[in-house]
Structure 1
Amino acid sequence: MSSAGQNVKTVRKRRGLTQRELAEASGVSLSTIRKLEQADRDGARLETLRKLAVALGVPTMRLAGAPGIEEADPITADRWAGVRDALERPPLASGLDDGPPTVAGVRASLDDAMPLFTGDQLAHLSVLLPPLLRDADALGPEGRTVRVRLLQLAGWLMVQTRQFSAAETALERALSESVDRMESAATINTLLWLLLRQGQLSKAHDLSVRWADETEPRISRATPEELSTWGWMLLRLSAAAIRNGQPGEADDAIKLASAAAVALGREYTPGNDFLRRFGPTTVKLKAAENAAVTDRPDLVLRLAERIPLAGLRSTSNNRNRHILDVADAYAKTGQYADAFGKLEQIREGSPEWLPNQRYARDILTKLIKSRRTLTVEMRSMADAVGLPL
């Protein structure tokens, strides 16, 4: 029996509930609970465990044990093999005809590549990053700043594509070379996202609490970068808490993040780092995400009406995730055409991002179940998100 299934069964019996009663209380199907407890399923979705935990009155991680983690598929892993190799092995010696890399040259190459990062141009990045990482490694101590930034971005991409071990390698390397609190916090922000995606909620919670305490500024004197950094630690704390069945703590963290955003008064991007863009709109996006996690589709749609997306780039950290939350809310409220329209919106703006999103596959699965026959567009979308029919 899987540890998650054993934990569910143990807590359910302590509560004096039958499997059917737990299904009714949680909204999880009886067949899913039976398969989980009988170990017919290899672990369970974090969303499923959260619903069961709420019904049983325990934190999600009390049930999770060692949750199954969906890693990258073989095609994705093969595409990024060069990046993983560059992260984990020392730089290659320069050829006889190669001049040594320079800090200015590597920085210029990274600046030129930024539109690829902000536009989720994954195919191009998988080719460009290996030599750029090796050049950055060859710079020595004088290339520390550009190397840290490149490692942060590489770690983010590895999280994005579910290559978690490589992501941890990149982020640990970036953290080891960071020399000030703000630089370290930028790496910790992505590391927290890695932990959340792995389902390590308790670890993410504790780390975000620590860094929120360490970066909390005096608001009346805080710089925009300090407010942005603290705000993101609070948003990560809220994300960990809401997923671990601690809605009160999640709400408190969102309120504090909102205070930081109000003090900023606008969306702010420290050092032109799109991963740390923070402000009132970002907080609203994450509040809607919390509503989605706790299965409140009506609230997601109400909040979405007040979120201005026109000025936001189609970055996977914020805007695209929010559009998926809205699509899911439409699907759960029976507005299937609107839900499919949101998936099409993401595919049009970020076609290389979408296949890495299990969330998108789950939403499309709901839409397909609502149909007797599939349209050509639905079959095309299934191919786009990697959903076998």
Structure 2
Amino acid sequence: MQWSDYTTGERIKILRGKGISQADLAEMTGLSVATIQKFEQGKQMSLNTLLRVADALGVDTSVILGQQAPRRAMLQTDRTMMRALSRTIHDTAAGLLPDDVGEGEAGALREAIDRCWDSYWKGEYTAAGALAIPILPQAAAYLRDQPVGQQGPAWGLLADGYRLAAYVANLMGARDLAYAAIGHAQVAAEHSDDELQPALVASGRAWVYLRDARLEDALKLAERAAVDIEPRFSTATPEQLTVYGSHVNFAAVVASRMKNKELVKDYLSQSNATGARMGNEHRARGTLFGPVTADTQAVGIAVALGQTGKALDLISGITDGALGKLTDAARNRFAMDKAMAQADAKLWDASLDTLEKALVEAPVWARHQALPSVIVQKVGRASTTRIRRVSELIGVRPGVEGGFAPATRKSAL
């Protein structure tokens, strides 16, 4: 059933979900419970009332009217955060700062940005977005207060804030907002005095391109960013190696999506060399890289290239101890790649074991991933009971139109 097939009242009820009662929505909108009940039963709303209900539910009016479907993974808290993040990005870029914005301080802003990245790499994307919302106006206020000629570091902090916002928007599927935020990040990066900042933003833009299926553009940008910051290994700092390794790894990922095996081989060679030079995982500038990251990324790349045997061989050499050095999100992504490789090898039960374990351990992260549904579709010959159990964790039900459909109206979001 398509989103537009529901009535307006049904869409309001679905958007409320189990977390918001009719009484809650009445209080949020300033309407009576009886009025909310009538709307859900089919009574028409005035434009003013429609706007109030849409704002309370954290969606555009077009979603309530059925003109645009909400994203399946989005809960009401996700939608509310995204609307606030959108306003903050656009207002900050226009110089419209809140009247009560405090005077920013470099050390406090850097700590806030680091906390935001921590949430992001734990897979807590709504929390990361919520943390980014106050960072942007505070960074803009800090920039405003710096003397002319001494604004370079402040521009760098603002670039980090916009890049964080772009990453959250991109992962949440708000592509236009991601493009806007990464564009603002680029302007800020070009004004900063940080030699790594422009390349970090370029890599972020390349990721937006990748999610938007602009593979050639993503590859060109990823390659350019990697070349721009290629360090001398003999003198490179751990921070420089971390950023460079992440860039060449991403270039390899994009090349694998384009099925360019020679280019993949070249970039993986550079990635492995960088990881070996580092010796251990290192976190810097919102990313983590090292030998384990290089190895786990190689698994996903082998899966993308259809090299199932190679992927399984690589997986067998990665220990649980090594995985413990990764961020939560990187470890979860490795589990998805492992489950996909097992599914491609027709190891149905092993694939479901891997997938189910990841879904149980990281349900918040999994809500925003498309790969679990793809894996379940591949595992067509496993136990029906097990498939249904895993499908419930994802929020889909098998067997509809050759694939999957929402398990309930609530899960259609």
Contact 1:243 1:293 (C-alpha < 8 Å) held by counterparts: yes
2:350 matches 1:338: yes
Pair 138,276 (structure 1): closer, same or farther in 2 beyond 3 Å: same
Partners in 1 of 2:406 and 2:101 — Cα distance?
A: 48
- Structure 2 SS opposite 1:277: strand
Between structure 1 and structure 2, the one with the greater Rg is: 2
Equivalent position of 1:78 in the other structure: 79
How far off is 1:380 after superposition? 2.2
1:381 to 386, 393, 402: 393
2:228 matches 1:214: yes
Contact 1:217 1:230 (C-alpha < 8 Å) held by counterparts: yes
Deviations, residues 183-214 of structure 1 (Å, cap 9, x unaligned): 22222222222222222111112112222222
Partners in 1 of 2:240 and 2:108 — Cα distance?
A: 30
1:134 to 114, 134, 137: 137
2:158 matches 1:147: yes
Aligned length: 314
- Structure 2 SS opposite 1:220: coil
Partners in 1 of 2:112 and 2:96 — Cα distance?
A: 19
Contact 2:120 2:128 (C-alpha < 8 Å) held by counterparts: yes
- Structure 1 SS opposite 2:374: helix
Partners in 2 of 1:300 and 1:230 — Cα distance?
A: 24
Equivalent position of 2:216 in the other structure: 202
1:248 to 262, 271, 285: 262
Equivalent position of 2:12 in the other structure: none
Correspondence list, 1:229-244, <5 A: 229-244=243-258
Partners in 1 of 2:337 and 2:185 — Cα distance?
A: 31
Equivalent position of 1:159 in the other structure: 170
Pair 246,355 (structure 1): closer, same or farther in 2 beyond 3 Å: same
TM normalised by structure 2 equals 0.68
Deviations, residues 237-259 of structure 1 (Å, cap 9, x unaligned): 22222221210111011112211
Partners in 2 of 1:191 and 1:368 — Cα distance?
A: 36
How far off is 1:284 after superposition? 1.1
How far off is 1:85 after superposition? 1.6
Equivalent position of 1:47 in the other structure: none
Equivalent position of 1:170 in the other structure: 181
Q: Which runs of 4+ in 1 moved over 6 A?
A: none
Deviations, residues 260-316 of structure 1 (Å, cap 9, x unaligned): 22222221222xx4x421111111112111110012222212101112443234433
Contact 1:355 1:384 (C-alpha < 8 Å) held by counterparts: no
Partners in 1 of 2:340 and 2:73 — Cα distance?
A: 27
Partners in 2 of 1:230 and 1:108 — Cα distance?
A: 23
Partners in 2 of 1:156 and 1:215 — Cα distance?
A: 21
Equivalent position of 1:285 in the other structure: 296
Identity of aligned residues (%): 21
Kindly provide the amino acid, as one letter, of the partner of residue 231 in structure 2.
P
Deviations, residues 70-125 of structure 1 (Å, cap 9, x unaligned): 99459467341111121122465545xx4633225544544555543332223434
Deviations, residues 45-84 of structure 1 (Å, cap 9, x unaligned): xxxxxxxxxxxxxxxxxxxxxxxxx994594673411111
2:366 to 354, 357, 360: 354
Pair 74,377 (structure 1): closer, same or farther in 2 beyond 3 Å: closer
2:123 matches 1:120: yes
1:191 to 205, 210, 218: 205
Runs of 5+ in structure 1 lacking a partner?
1-69
Equivalent position of 2:239 in the other structure: 225
